[in-house]
């Protein structure tokens, strides 16, 4: 058997040389989120500086390391010094950082996040001691932001593909047993034991079997899979090799959203490197195992996250679900046994096989083993991608890792459009599949959206129902027509035209939709409304009985007012008002004509952030 050992030794050398590089190295977080925050401009500034001064340094584009709110992150590694990380870089700031290192030989002190060296190597904290990172357990994300995702040697140097190599020396049932003992459950949201799905696929007789990676991350507010693929594509691909080996699948697909162009590019690059390294095709690494992977770009349909709909779309049809059984593991793509696993599930496998099931199952709770990645977003101070052991409480995640909220906590939304809003009393619930389901929500793929008191629950429920209504494929009447009516009722309530009986209608209709739909989309679509009604009923009643929106969000129920005592008459709001509703001479309190006001919020924001007085315009209900 021709193993990867010599290649790995070579890779380890390359990796070591990078750590001890005699040339300075500049690492830039250039995932989609980093780029959105301006990483490309920062890279341009670094290149410009090097060119102008004639200094020599290597620039490395790494993936997202997690704390997106600190992006763009730039790390500087000088010879003999550990990598030191700086946050929220701009072209101007990064020049200052480089000048300090290159010209004065000093560590730049502003925007310092931490270093990547050994404990106590510098007089300031380590990067991973940052409050957002300290209580995380990074298994799946261990390479993200650390390695160059386009360099397979970096992955190999950090024990990449050793899990798969170990696999090749074992019979399939022992690999399955290892995964079974690890307790790994599907990370797509439903939490079905991974091994059980595989066993069905393995035991179904057929001369051809398929493995599909579901990277159609459709939940609005979730980006775990995108980050992982952008930052460490080989972790997913190694996981696919392991799953395919266990299943006896000869062909694999990555079904990925077309909205993720960078992730797709990274995957294509990684597949090419795999092929060159002999990790794809026939007789992989000299064994009898052959496997190939193709990329299928999803064309934008949330329902395609459902297994049978996904298969229909790979077959070139409308992405509509069908009745099960037969389950895809028995009869899936082209009628052949097909196992569909989520990105995170697959990317966890290399670690389980490499370190053993016992090691993996030490993390997590009795029924939910291991770690889970979450996208922690919304009204929380520290937003980003995190990975924590299952069983951590929502409070720990939101307050210890997320740093809490600026305003008062109202709810946390888990599970995307299939999940629900959980109120404060659930903050101490340990996060696992069972607990979240018992609370009326679901684990989902990992979106955690924190809502504060300025978020309206009726509006949030309406938002999700609008989404599922638009994404309903239309096959089942309860889902197609029912979600439409749910939206209609919620719309009425948010306009202050609801009646108390509407609440009962929402609940009854919700239950009917859940019971009468074929696939997960319809079966879970009413969850956001039902949980909202359960935990925040008074807010619905305020909209109905008092015709007011306590969070001052629902447009038809709010008015804008200028606080005359505060207004300095700086005219900033007059300039931004699109309808001329605000008038008044300079230096005198302005007037607001509510008959012309379209409640676009421009004046509110300009007064808040950009006016002399600040907060002289209030939105009330």
Residue 300 interacts with another protein (CB under 8 A): yes or no:
yes
556 binds another protein (CB under 8 A): no
Q: Does 41 bind another protein (CB under 8 A)?
A: yes
Nearer to another protein, 156 or 213 (CB): 213
**What number of other Cβ atoms are within 10 A of residue 384's Cβ?**
24
Strand 420-422 with 582-583, pairing = unpaired
Q: What is the C-alpha separation between 246 and 202, in angstroms, rounded?
A: 8
Query: In the set 385, 506, 532, 557, which binds another protein (CB under 8 A)?
Result: 385
The SS3 assignment for 518 reads coil
Query: Looking at beta carbons only, is 42 or 349 nearer to another protein?
Result: 42
Pick the stretch among 102-110, 131-139, 221-229, 540-548 that binds another protein (CB under 8 A): 221-229
What x-and-dash track marks residues 59-98 binding another protein by CB under 8 A? Answer: ---------xx-x---------------------------
Stretch that binds another protein, among 14-22, 344-352, 381-389, 513-521 (CB under 8 A): 381-389
Q: 157 vs 333, which CB is nearer to another protein? A: 333
Q: Which of 125, 220, 278, 326 binds another protein (CB under 8 A)?
A: 220
Determine how β-strand 74-77 pairs with β-strand 84-86. antiparallel
Residue in 474, 477, 480, 486 with CA at minimum distance from that of residue 510: 486
DSSP letters, 11-53, are HHHHHHHHHT-SS-EEEEE-SHHHHHTTHHHHHHHHHHHHHHH
Chain positions 401 to 420 lying near another protein, rule: CB under 8 A, are 413, 416
CB atoms within 10 A of CB 499: 12
Among the listed residues 316, 325, 565, 595, the single contact to another protein using CB under 8 A? 316
C-alpha to C-alpha distances, 424 to 5, 21, 421, 529, 568, nearest whole angstrom: 52, 50, 10, 17, 39
**Residue in 151, 345, 368, 375 binding another protein, rule: CB under 8 A:** 375
Query: Given the DSSP bridges, would you call strands 447-452 and 371-378 parallel, antiparallel or unpaired?
Result: parallel
Q: Whose CA is closest to 33, among 224, 233, 255?
A: 224
Give residue 587's Cα distance to chain centre: 47
Contacts of another protein in 445-504 (CB under 8 A): 447, 449, 451, 455, 460, 463-464, 467, 471, 473
Q: Which residue's entry shows tokens 């990329």? A: 295
Choose which of 24, 27, 30, 32 interacts with another protein (CB under 8 A): 32
* Residue 319 binds another protein, judged by CB under 8 A: yes
CB count, 10 Å around CB of 509?
19
Q: Exposed, middle or buried by CB within 10 Å (0-12, 13-18, 19+), for 406?
A: exposed
Q: How far is the CB of 600 from another protein (least distance, A)?
A: 6
In the complex with another protein, which residue's Cβ is closer, 39 or 84?
Answer: 39
CB of 578 to another protein, least distance (A): 6
The least distance separating another protein from the CB of residue 263, rounded to whole angstroms, comes to: 8
* Contact predicate 436/414, CB 8 Å: yes
153-192: contacts with another protein (CB under 8 A): none
CB of 276 to another protein, least distance (A): 22
Number of shown-chain residues binding another protein (CB under 8 A): 65
Kindly state whether residue 260 participates in binding another protein, applying the rule CB under 8 A. yes
| Tokens linked to 59 | 């620039």
Upper half-sphere CA count for residue 487 (Cβ side, 13 Å): 16
**Could you list the residues that contact another protein (CB under 8 A)?**
32-33, 35-38, 41, 68-69, 71, 217-223, 226, 258-261, 296-297, 299-302, 313-320, 375-379, 383-385, 413, 416, 447, 449, 451, 455, 460, 463-464, 467, 471, 473, 576, 578, 600-602, 605-606, 609-610
């Amino acid at each position: 058997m021709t193993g990867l050992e010599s290649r790995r030794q070579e890779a380890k050398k390359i990796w070591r040389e990078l750590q001890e590089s005699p040339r300075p190295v500049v690492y830039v977080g250039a995932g989609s989120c980093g780029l959105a925050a301006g990483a490309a401009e920062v890279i341009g500034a670094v290149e410009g500086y090097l060119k102008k001064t004639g200094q020599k340094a290597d620039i490395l584009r790494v993936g997202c390391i997690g704390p997106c709110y600190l992006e763009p992150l730039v790390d500087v590694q000088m010879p003999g010094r550990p990598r030191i990380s700086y946050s929220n870089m701009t072209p101007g700031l990064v020049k200052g950082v480089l000048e300090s290192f290159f010209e004065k030989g000093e560590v730049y002190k502003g925007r310092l996040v931490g270093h990547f060296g050994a404990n106590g190597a510098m007089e300031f904290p380590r990067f991973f001691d940052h409050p957002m990172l300290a209580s995380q357990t990074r298994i799946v994300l261990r390479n993200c932001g650390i390695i160059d995702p386009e360099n397979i040697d970096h992955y190999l140097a950090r024990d990449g593909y050793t899990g798969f190599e170990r696999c090749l020396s074992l019979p399939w049932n022992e690999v399955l047993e290892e995964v079974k003992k690890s307790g790994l459950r599907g990370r797509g949201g439903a939490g079905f034991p991974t091994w059980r799905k595989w066993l069905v696929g393995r035991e179904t007789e057929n001369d051809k079997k398929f493995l599909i990676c579901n990277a159609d991350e459709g939940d609005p507010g979730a980006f775990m899979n995108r980050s992982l693929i952008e930052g460490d594509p080989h972790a997913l691909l190694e996981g696919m090799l392991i799953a395919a080996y266990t299943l006896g699948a000869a062909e694999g697909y990555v079904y990925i959203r077309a909205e993720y162009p960078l992730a797709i590019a990274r995957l294509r690059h990684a597949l090419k490197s795999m092929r060159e390294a002999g990790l794809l095709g026939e007789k992989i690494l000299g064994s009898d195992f052959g496997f190939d992977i193709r990329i299928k770009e999803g064309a934008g349909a949330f329902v395609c996250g459902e297994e049978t709909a996904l298969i229909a779309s790979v077959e070139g049809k409308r992405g509509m679900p069908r009745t099960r059984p037969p389950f895809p593991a028995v009869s899936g793509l082209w009628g052949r046994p097909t196992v569909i696993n989520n990105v995170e599930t697959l990317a966890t496998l290399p670690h389980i096989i490499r370190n053993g099931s016992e090691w993996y199952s030490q993390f997590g709770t009795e029924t939910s083993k291991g770690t889970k990645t979450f996208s922690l977003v919304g009204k929380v101070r520290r937003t980003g991608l995190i990975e924590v052991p299952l069983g951590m409480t929502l409070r720990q995640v939101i307050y210890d890792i997320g740093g809490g909220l600026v305003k008062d906590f109202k709810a946390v939304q888990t599970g995307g459009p299939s999940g629900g809003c959980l109120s404060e009393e659930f903050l101490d619930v340990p996060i696992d599949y069972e607990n979240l389901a018992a609370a009326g929500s679901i684990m989902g793929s990992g979106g955690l959206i924190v809502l504060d008191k300025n978020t309206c629950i009726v509006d949030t429920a309406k938002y999700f129902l609008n989404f599922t209504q638009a994404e309903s494929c239309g096959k089942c009447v309860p889902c197609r027509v029912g979600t439409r009516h749910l939206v209609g009722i919620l719309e009425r309530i948010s306009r202050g035209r609801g009646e108390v009986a509407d609440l009962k209608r929402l609940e009854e209709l919700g239950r009917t939709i859940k019971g009468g739909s074929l696939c997960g989309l319809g079966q879970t679509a009413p969850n956001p409304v039902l949980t909202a009604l359960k935990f925040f009923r008074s807010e619905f009643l305020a909209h109905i009985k008092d015709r007011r929106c306590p969070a001052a969000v629902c447009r038809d129920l709010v008015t804008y007012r200028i606080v005359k005592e505060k207004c300095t008459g700086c005219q900033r709001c007059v300039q931004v008002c699109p309808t001329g509703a605000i008038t008044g001479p300079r230096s005198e309190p302005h007037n607001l004509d509510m008959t012309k006001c379209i409640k676009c919020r421009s004046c509110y924001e300009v007064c808040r952030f950009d006016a002399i007085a600040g907060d002289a315009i209030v939105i009330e209900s």
